[in-house]
Copies of this chain bind each other. A is one copy, B any other.
């Protein structure tokens, strides 16, 4: 199967698939004309990548997950630990964004927001008010 078809089935752009090959995540065989030839197994791998990437795993984590996927004797504990660690990471990121949001949201509240030049937001950014 050509890269375009594989791309459709894996829901990934061809460019990305070629990139994944470049960094050693998938290694399709080649047809006589030099075109990449994807097997169902390759596509399976690509879908695995698509899904784990979309869940926020980095490329290196995906590499690790794939090796666990290939390893018939893996311990499910390893995988579970990775998933839980990732959930923790996302939680931390959410909390960070939340506090960012709260800080940022206070700024416009003191700003009359009309054509006048004095602007409490700018003042705050410039540190002309008490602020972190």
Contact = CB atoms under 8 A, between A and B. Distances in A.
Interface in A50-86: 51-52, 55-56, 65, 68-69, 71-77, 79-81, 83-84, 86
A48 B104 contact: no
Given A47-B127, A90-B104, A121 B56 contact: no
Given A94-B94, A104-B56, A127-B47, A69 B111 contact: no
Interface stretch (A18-26, A27-35, A95-103): A95-103
Given A90-B97, A100-B56, A73 B121 contact: no
Contacts of A97: 90, 93-94, 97
A13 interface: no
A65 B125 contact: yes
A2 B56 CA distance: 41
A113 B52 contact: no
Interface of A: 44, 47-48, 51-52, 55-56, 65, 68-69, 71-77, 79-81, 83-84, 86-87, 90-91, 93-94, 97-98, 100-101, 103-105, 107-108, 111-122, 124-127, 131
